[in-house]
Amino acid sequence: MAIQVFAIAMALFAISRAYLRLREKKLKPFEFIFWTLLWLVVVFIAFAPDVTFFFSKLVGIERGIDIIIYTSIIALFYLMFRLYVKLETVEQNLTKIVRELALREKKR
Amino acid sequence: MNKLMIVVPAYNEAVKIGAVIESLKKEGFQNIIVVDDGSTDKTAETARSKGVVVLSHFVNCGYGAAITTGIKHAVVQGADAIATFDADGQHVSSDLHKLFEIVAKGEADIALGSRFLKQSKSNVPLLRKMALKAGRMIVWAFYGVKLSDAHSGLRAMSREAAEKIDVKSAHMDFSSEIVDQIKKQKLRWKELPVTVRYTQYSIKNSKQGPLPALKIFSQMIWRKLVR
């Protein structure tokens, strides 16, 4: 039972966070729906872990829980990649600003 | 070829920058651009007191970013040829003459200083040597240009080359990316032996150990993947 309580608590926390971000307009409605659905799926799986078995069978993985772990890792890697790209863009933009300021200061 | 400009990227080099500028002036180089890359010490003040142009990054952006800023300024100021020179006192200012000469004669668009050509008198420590040798093989494999020393901070280029070169890297992999640009922009290059002095100070402060080397390598792979 502990895992179900934990899942609900986590989901409520995450969804409330997402909702706050939505109100601040830092999250688009579509993104809010995505995260809410994702966490609802997590709660659902916590109560009915057997459904994962259906999917794992589909792709030929023995245990239901494994497919969750595999997809999570892939998703995490993808998110990290996105973050990295984003970070690089931000860094490049920062450099451009700093350079422009340095050059302008000299022109005056 | 008359207006020669020297770009000196500097990050927390207050101890050495004065002497470096002095040595450049002693060799007759008047147009010196120090790019202070967000130093927290008195690098900018010291350089300014020596009467050279100082450009200031107000936050630290990295070695490559500082060089690019300096080169852009030099181009705007009408430089005919531009050299880059490290601020930590490792380079010997008299080496610049031959680098500039090659560029002035039109023998190459970019002249690169090398620690590993026969006539070089550099006393490269063993670990550095190994890292640099590996580095040149990696650069060769990545960019198809076979250099004897792919990570030298001492180089001179013509104005045209400086305008063409478009290096994105803000960090230490600047040196490798410039090789990539040599290939892409079809620049004519030539390596010349230069002396790099390894002192207690430079070894303590430099970013050329095995770990930074790994970092440069990972940055290069990253660049290959993403761009």
Q: Is the pLDDT of residue B2 over 80?
A: no
CA distances from A46 to A6, A53, A75 (A): 9, 13, 19
Confidence (pLDDT) at A103:
94
Contacts of A84 in chain B (CB under 8 A): 222
Q: Which residues of B touch A (CB under 8 A)?
A: 35, 38, 53, 55-59, 61-62, 65, 68-69, 72-73, 76, 168, 170, 222, 226
Averaged pLDDT score across all residues of chain A: 88
Mutation pick from B33, B54, B57 vs chain A, by most beta carbons of A within 10 Å, is B57
- B116 to chain A, closest Cα gap in Å: 33
Confidence (pLDDT) at B194:
92
* Contact yes or no for A91 and B170 at CB 8 A: yes
Averaged pLDDT score across all residues of chain B: 88
In this structure, what are the phi and psi dihedrals at residue B78, rounded to the nearest 5 degrees? 80, 35
Chain centroid to Cα A43, Å, comes to: 16
Confidence (pLDDT) at B199:
77
What's the pTM value of the predicted model, to 2 decimals? 0.78
Q: A52-98, pLDDT tens digit by residue?
A: 888 788 888 777 778 888 889 999 999 998 898 899 889 999 999 99
Confidence (pLDDT) at B119:
79
Confidence (pLDDT) at B129:
83
* Contact yes or no for B55 and A91 at CB 8 A: no
CA distances from A43 to A1, A39, A81, B4 (A): 12, 6, 27, 68
Q: Is the pLDDT of residue B13 over 80?
A: yes
Q: Is the pLDDT of residue B208 over 60?
A: no
Contacts of B57 in chain A (CB under 8 A): 98-99, 102
The CB density around residue B80, as the number of other CB atoms within 10 Å, is: 16
How far apart, in whole angstroms, are the C-alpha atoms of residue A99 and residue A94?
A: 8
How far apart, in whole angstroms, are the C-alpha atoms of residue A94 and residue B65?
A: 10
Token pair recorded at residue B115: 């620690």
Minimum CA–CA partner of A86 in chain B: B226
Q: Is the pLDDT of residue B77 over 90?
A: yes
* Contact yes or no for A105 and B168 at CB 8 A: no
Q: Give the DSSP per-residue string, chain B.
A: ---EEEEEEESS-HHHHHHHHHHHHHTT--EEEEEEES-SSSHHHHHHHTT-EEEEESS---HHHHHHHHHHHHHHTT-SEEEE--TTS-B-TTHHHHHHHHHHTTS-SEEEEESSSTT------HHHHHHHHHHHHHHHHHHS---S-TT-S-EEEEHHHHHH------STTHHHHHHHHHHHTT--EEEEE--B---HHHHHH-S-SHHHHHHHHHHHHHHHHH-
- A73 to chain B, closest Cα gap in Å: 20
B100-112 average pLDDT score: 95
- A20 to chain B, closest Cα gap in Å: 33
User: HSE on the CB side for B85, CA within 13 Å?
Assistant: 31
Are the CB atoms for B223 and B169 separated by under 8 Å? yes
Q: Looking at per-residue confidence, does B180 or B33 come out higher?
A: B33
Minimum CA–CA partner of B65 in chain A: A95
Confidence (pLDDT) at A67:
82
Q: Looking at per-residue confidence, does B59 or A106 come out higher?
A: B59
How far apart, in whole angstroms, are the C-alpha atoms of residue B92 and residue B96?
A: 8
Q: What is the percent of chain B with per-residue pLDDT over 90, rounded to a whole number? A: 60
Of B55, B58, B168, the CB nearest to A103: B55
CB neighbour list of residue A73: distance below 8 Å, 6 or more residues apart = none
B40-44 average pLDDT score: 94
A3-28 average pLDDT score: 90
